[in-house]
Amino acid sequence: PLCCKPEKRGKVVCLPRLSRVAVCGGTHGNELSGVYLVRELLKAKDIVMEEEREEPASVLMVLANPRAMQQCRRYVDTDLNRCFTHATLNGPISDSAPYEMTRSRELNAMLGPKGSPGAVDLVCDLHNTTANMGLCLIAYSDCDWICLHIFKHLQRQMPDVPMRFIHFDVSSKESYSLDSVGKHGFAMEIGPQPHGVVRSNIYTAMKDGVQHMLDWVRLFNSGTIFEAGFVDVFTIVKNIDYPRDSETHNITATIHPQLQDRDFLLLHPDDALFQTFSGETLRYKGNEPLYPFFVNECAYYEKGIALSLARKRHVVVPAIRAQTEAERRRDQQGFASEEE
């Protein structure tokens, strides 16, 4: 991808302005911090519109899965946040299609189309997890400098909030979540919070995170140079399922008390993983120490995931700034002459 061209040290990467940003909540209807935050932002936006304030970037607030929100469930028919693959968005659709498949196409029309020049510049999709993960930005790329600089900015502005950058190594052809619809995108995942509950500390962290992200976008668009640096990126390696009964497929163990709530603390070979209902300890049999996350996330029982494991890497992030208007025109002309 264009963002990953190797850059000379000290060079400032120029990227197009982010003129359209989407903040999405309620993609899972029971992840309430995002639901309440987007509702509040929609209310505030009404007030701002009345005052006729000019925003250099337009920010769209979207409640992604209203039907699931109404029932306070993760989804109605199928997980909306798996419905954004190119295949699902563009394939045939029947009248009896699951609600979320119809909805994903509506969202793609609103915020995309995915992969096209008309797509919004940045999607920030708000989520909560029952896992003790603090604040995480989850992205498909480990070299999208926009996302990485937003992360660095949040780290600087919110030093008391434990914060990590998670990289799902999935190609853009196979990317499946709402944040993949924008030219840039990430999920902002905050926990621990039970589904169906809003905890004020979690809500406040999400509200601050979104505010700082939007502040960064304004700074970026107004020409600020963001200095080079480093980010510790957690790249997913694999998932581990619960031990299950071979006949009923029901789980036969829980996350071990020594692992519960210890997301991002290194798991070594032979460390305790699960505790069976008869009290036996099952241990991690991998060869290398890895970082666990999404430990005991409620929604992942049905997806066969007890925890995910990641490797940590120190990623160099170059300095960046927004393209000037002149640079943007030169870019477009260059593109046009290539076509000729």
| C-beta closer to other proteins: residue 197 or 265 | 197
User: Does 171 engage in binding with other proteins (CB under 8 A)?
Assistant: no
CA separation for the pair 39, 32 (Å, rounded): 10
Rule CB under 8 A: which of 186-215 touch other proteins?
192, 194-201, 203-204, 207
CB of 293 to other proteins, least distance (A): 16
Rule CB under 8 A: which of 70-109 touch other proteins?
72-73
Q: At what angle do helices 200-221 and 32-51 cross, to 10 degrees?
A: 50
CB of 179 to other proteins, least distance (A): 24
% helix, strand, coil for the chain, step of 5: 30, 25, 45
Q: Which stretch binds other proteins (CB under 8 A): 34-42, 93-101, 104-112, 220-228?
A: 34-42
Q: Which stretch binds other proteins (CB under 8 A): 95-103, 118-126, 292-300, 307-315?
A: 292-300
| C-beta closer to other proteins: residue 261 or 327 | 261
* DSSP string for 134-163: EEEEEES-S--HHHHHHHHHHHHH-TTS-E
Q: Which stretch binds other proteins (CB under 8 A): 35-43, 52-60, 174-182, 313-321?
A: 35-43
Rule CB under 8 A: which of 119-138 touch other proteins?
130
Phi and psi at residue 224, in whole multiples of 5°? Answer: -55, 140
CA separation for the pair 154, 225 (Å, rounded): 16
Confirm whether residue 149 is marked as ligand binding: no
CA separation for the pair 95, 261 (Å, rounded): 43
Token output for 135: 């604040």
User: Does 254 engage in binding with other proteins (CB under 8 A)?
Assistant: yes
**DSSP type of residue 128:** E
Q: What kind and span of H or E run contains 330? A: helix 325-339
| C-beta closer to other proteins: residue 110 or 282 | 282
Confirm whether residue 7 is marked as ligand binding: no
Residue 317, number of CB atoms within 10 A of its CB: 21
Residue from 7, 40, 174, 189 carrying the catalytic annotation: 189
Q: What kind and span of H or E run contains 14? A: strand 12-15
User: Does 302 engage in binding with other proteins (CB under 8 A)?
Assistant: yes
**DSSP type of residue 180:** G
Q: At what angle do helices 200-221 and 145-157 cross, to 10 degrees?
A: 120
User: Does 221 engage in binding with other proteins (CB under 8 A)?
Assistant: no
Q: Give whole-number Cα distances, 131 to 127, 194, 276, 300, in Å.
A: 12, 9, 20, 11
User: Does 309 engage in binding with other proteins (CB under 8 A)?
Assistant: no
189 is catalytic: yes
CB of 209 to other proteins, least distance (A): 15
Confirm whether residue 127 is marked as ligand binding: yes
- Binding-site residue numbers are 28, 31, 127
Catalogue the active-site residues. 189
- Binding-site residue numbers for Zn(2+) are 28, 31, 127
Give the residues lining the site for other proteins (CB under 8 A): 36-37, 39-40, 72-73, 130, 192, 194-201, 203-204, 207, 250-251, 254-257, 260, 275, 277, 296, 298-299, 301-302
